[in-house]
Amino acid sequence: MKKFKIPSVPSTTNKCIRFPDDIIEKVENAIEGKSCTFTAFVVEAVRVALENIEEETEQ
């Protein structure tokens, strides 16, 4: 069994970025009814994109 560890919240920095209106609408539709914020969605999307870039560079 995996041991429970209390997660630590990473430090954050506020960044103001502009999104095209159609992207905002698509993200909001995707997270509607789910316990996910716009910020959490964008952060996860960026993480996945960075992982993809790293994998491509390793090949």
pLDDT tens digits, one per residue of 30-56: 999 999 999 999 999 999 999 999 999
Q: Is 33 left (phi over 0), alpha (psi -120 to 50) or beta?
A: left
Cα separation, 38 vs 32, whole angstroms: 10
Contact criterion met (CB below 8 Å) for 39 and 28: no
Q: What percent of the chain has pLDDT over 90?
A: 80
What mean pLDDT do residues 5-11 have? 81
Residue 13 lies inside a defined structural domain of this protein:
no
pTM: 0.78
* Domain assignment present for 42: yes
Residue 30: give the domain boundaries: 21-58
Residue 15 lies in a domain: no
**Within a domain: 25:** yes
- Token pair recorded at residue 20: 């095209």
